[in-house]
Structure 1
Amino acid sequence: MELSIARPEDLKAVQLIAKETFFETFAADNTEADMIQYLTENFSDEKIKSELTNPESVFCIAWDNETPVGYLKVNTGTSQTELRDATSLEIERIYVKQAFHGKKAGQLLFEKALEIARSLSKSYIWLGVWEKNAKAIRFYEKNGFTAFDKHIFRFGEDEQTDIMMKKDL
């Protein structure tokens, strides 16, 4: 398994792994209409290109040979989805294909997020995770995160609750 920082020319690889992993993770618990709307709006060429060229965001792709199997997106400054604290780094997304769960791809991506946060001298790292995603919550707790708040994540017509978690560095 290898990691690479995604560049604008990696748009299709990021888009592919983003759509695949998001669908695998959430399709069973959401309506088809909401899923289609979310995938269309959040993983369009324009949206991904904008995110890849944003200097306050970093994408990292986990590769199994030539196949993307997971990815990470972190944000600093005004690119953070909520807190926008100059001393923090947000993990907006860590997703891994289900076939690669338990094979350390998620841990490698998480460790890359820590490396980025430390290289930027951040005080803490934070994220939001769906309250019904027990597996992800356990992963973050195992890695030293604690819950500090909740927020609403709008998914199509559905309002879902995310647990906000942080880890001091």
Structure 2
Amino acid sequence: MISITIKKASTEDLETIQNVGRETFYETFAKHNSEYEMQKYLDESFASEKLIRELNTIDSQFFIAWENENPIGYLKVNSGKAQTELQDETSLEIERIYVKSEYHGKKIGQILYDKALEIALQEKKKYLWLGVWEENVRAVNFYKKNGFIEFDKHIFKLGNEEQTDLMMRKLLD
């Protein structure tokens, strides 16, 4: 069994978040998109300036999953106005749970999700929500297993490609 540590990230972790983010996004979505659109998205979404802004946003939090000294995934959650869409003070958005493919099936995503749930409960949120690409069956099933239900859809643009994300939420007691 592997030993995993979850640590809150800061701007000092910029390069780690960039590397893990780029690698995991590419692993997950490259086979479904053109190389040009993938590289453009990776360059824009994981640019240092953009990630520094996100890391310094008061209502956003990043957490990195470590196996010893090896970063293997990360979580990004947003509350308040940092949320990408709903911006409901009573909700917490899970914007990203990224796990390196070699760690799929080893409960790393579950550990990161559990961290998001812990934050939502500590902050007395009424629900968690997220957007997930409708064709990412593995992720959709993961969220359903954790009690999320679909409540809407939105368009996610990857370059010139329009893709449909399922918007899912989980009500908290």
1:150 to 146, 149, 153: 153
Deviations 1:6-50 (A, max 9, x none): 011111111111111101010110011110110000101101111
Match of 1:33 in 2: 36
Counterpart Cα distance in 2 of 1:66 and 1:14: 14
Match of 1:132 in 2: 135
Counterpart Cα distance in 2 of 1:20 and 1:68: 11
Does residue 159 of structure 1 match 2:159? Answer: no
Deviations 1:69-92 (A, max 9, x none): 111000011111100011000000
Match of 2:75 in 1: 72
1:120 to 118, 123, 126: 123
Unaligned runs of 5+ in 1: none
Aligned-pair CA distance for 1:160: 0.3
- The 5 Å alignment of 1:3-14 reads 3-14=6-17
TM-score between the two structures when normalised by the length of structure 1: 0.99
| C-alpha RMSD of matched pairs (Å) | 0.5
Counterpart Cα distance in 1 of 2:40 and 2:103: 26
TM-score between the two structures when normalised by the length of structure 2: 0.96
One-letter amino acid of the counterpart of residue 139, structure 1: F
Match of 1:48 in 2: 51
Aligned-pair CA distance for 1:130: 0.2
Match of 1:16 in 2: 19
Counterpart Cα distance in 2 of 1:64 and 1:38: 28
Unaligned runs of 5+ in 2: none
Match of 1:92 in 2: 95
